[in-house]
Amino acid sequence: MPLERLQANFANQGLKMLRGVGVLWLGQIVTKGVGLAAFAYLARKLGTEEYGAVEYAMGLATFAALAIDGGLGSVGVRRLAQGERSPEKLAAVLPAAQFCIAAIVAPGMVLFAWLFANDARAVTLVAFVSISTLLLPLKQDWLFQALGKVGHIVVGQTLRGVAFAAGVMLAVSGSADLDLVGVMELASVAAAALYLIAIQRRSIAPIRMDFAWRDMLDLGREGAAVGAAAVVWALIQYAPLMMIAKMAGMADTAYFGAAHRLGVSLVTFSWIYHFNFYPAIAQRMIGDPESMAELTRASFRAAAWGGIGLALTLTLAAEPLLALLFGENLRPAAPAFGVLVWTFPITLLSGHARWLLVAARRAQDMLVAQLAGCVTAVVACALLIGSFGTVGAAAAMVLACLTIWAAAQALVTIRVRAAPFAACVLPTALAIGILASAKWLALDPWIASVSGLAAYCALAPLLDRALVRDIICVIKAKSLVVPDPGLV
């Protein structure tokens, strides 16, 4: 194939991929926004402890969803993309395997809440929500991902978010309606599942489950490592929420849950950044290692200044921001959010080391780093929640993220090459200085946030002369979809 034709083919694939990424970005923004509106409404309509029960149940449901996927979705995408199985076969066996997992996870959720929630209302709500997890195997996002039909995934996500938000706003008017939150969650999952089932039946494959035990075990063996990594990551994110419910009660769970909801949303966009950036790193690792190192350093510097600047801005505005979003009853969530928000820049920065491991086919080392973070989260929660409450739980998450970063940094240095680190020192020092100045001057939070951000942005290019150059380098970075001629 002539070079020009090959490059044109890659460019067409690139445009398709970029459109897909753009749709996913838009879907995430809409879904997060609608979800935030729904939970802001619930925070105002429910009592503090009832809202804590909602956060507890939804956090447990998120963890359950990852366990039910079990890494099988990734296996399905790979096998379908590489032609190892037909869509009809995989679309029947894979949901059957996930349903077997869901049949264990759903009652396990209720048992876990009964043993550890210390709140009868939370147990009842978890029971309603657990029914919705039995529908998740029917919502085969992996199938649409493998076939390049990401638009349907986004429609399903949006439909689920809108259905939940509309349902709670119409049905929930006070604490007496707490159980209806679980009913609306069930209805929203059902709506998304029915939509995807209809599309699948019309244009992809029949709707059926094939309990072929040998095939299901084969899928499970291949997906075990990916599923384990997802479950470990979920433990890091949600173990503090579960532990604070056990150790401090549903009121503190409400405060931490509100802060946690915003923090986890930010971390999601960290993942999207690296998802988009990964192809450029993977290409250069094989074709031009020095270019990869230069691009990684540039990305790290840009991410350090951007991520730390955002965390600084939100920390300064934490108290009025939480009250604005969730109501005055959840203003006490501000101190926890002021700590928890720093998981965003830490995760954004550690992503460079973690994705370098993946590009070097050292995914097992990334799992080791995540396991270290998981142990840190559980131990730190046990030590800190009793004395510091919600702030202790938030600090435990920050310590867990730092542990993952340190472990990934060490492993990538040993296995691949040294990952960048020094570029985060200047923005960290500047952020600390601005935070200390705002506290010393006792500024109004909104004024402190705006003036702090202005000072940070003005000083950044003066203190770090390479910043503008590296931002331009990242923006111009090519990826695999438009390869360098010398690599074709």
The Cα-based distances of 159 to 183, 187, 452 in angstroms read 16, 11, 39
Residue 295, amino acid: L
The Cα-based distances of 413 to 35, 362, 420 in angstroms read 39, 12, 10
Q: Given this model, what pLDDT does residue 311 score?
A: 96
Residue 364 has pLDDT above 60, yes or no: yes
Residue 21 has pLDDT above 60, yes or no: no
The CA-based diameter of the chain, rounded to the nearest angstrom, is 69
Average pLDDT over residues 317-322: 94
The band of 410, judged by pLDDT with boundaries at 50, 70 and 90, is very high
Token look-up 């970005």 returns 25
Residue 272 has pLDDT above 90, yes or no: no
Q: How far is it, in rounded angstroms, from Cα 346 to Cα 22? A: 25
Q: Given this model, what pLDDT does residue 19 score?
A: 57
Secondary structure E strands in 130-194? none
Lowest mean pLDDT among 52-66, 227-241, 267-281, 443-457: 267-281
Q: Given this model, what pLDDT does residue 483 score?
A: 35
Q: Is 324 within 8 Å of 337 (Cβ atoms)?
A: no
Q: Is 427 within 8 Å of 399 (Cβ atoms)?
A: no
The band of 23, judged by pLDDT with boundaries at 50, 70 and 90, is low
Residue 93, amino acid: V
- Mind listing the pLDDT tens digit for each residue in 152-199? 888 898 999 999 999 999 999 999 999 999 999 999 999 999 999 999
Average pLDDT over residues 127-145: 91
The band of 293, judged by pLDDT with boundaries at 50, 70 and 90, is confident
Q: How far is it, in rounded angstroms, from Cα 273 to Cα 339? A: 22
Q: How does 270-308 read in b/e, with b if 16+ C-beta sit within 10 Å?
A: beebbebbbbbbbbbbeeeeebbbebbbbbbbbbbbbbb
Q: Given this model, what pLDDT does residue 20 score?
A: 53
Q: Given this model, what pLDDT does residue 415 score?
A: 85
Q: Which one has a higher pLDDT value, 144 or 334?
A: 334
Cα–Cα nearest to 255, from 398, 399, 394, 435: 394
- Mind listing the pLDDT tens digit for each residue in 24-64? 666 677 788 888 899 999 999 999 999 999 999 999 999 89
Helix (H, G, I), strand (E, B) or coil at 466: coil
**Summary mean pLDDT of the chain:** 86
Q: How far is it, in rounded angstroms, from Cα 298 to Cα 344? A: 19
Structure tokens at 471: 């931002």
Q: How far is it, in rounded angstroms, from Cα 338 to Cα 329? A: 17
DSSP at 419: P
The band of 479, judged by pLDDT with boundaries at 50, 70 and 90, is very low
Q: Given this model, what pLDDT does residue 224 score?
A: 83
Q: Given this model, what pLDDT does residue 6 score?
A: 38
Cα–Cα–Cα angle for 29, 31, 36, nearest 5°?
A: 95
- Please state the pTM of the whole predicted model: 0.84
Q: Is 369 within 8 Å of 407 (Cβ atoms)?
A: yes
Residue 74 has pLDDT above 90, yes or no: no
Q: Which one has a higher pLDDT value, 416 or 313?
A: 313
Q: How does 68-78 read in b/e, with b if 16+ C-beta sit within 10 Å?
A: bbbbbbbbbbe
Q: Given this model, what pLDDT does residue 367 score?
A: 84
Q: Given this model, what pLDDT does residue 71 score?
A: 83
Q: Is 26 within 8 Å of 310 (Cβ atoms)?
A: no
Cα–Cα nearest to 366, from 274, 243, 239: 274
Q: Given this model, what pLDDT does residue 86 score?
A: 80
Q: Given this model, what pLDDT does residue 84 score?
A: 74
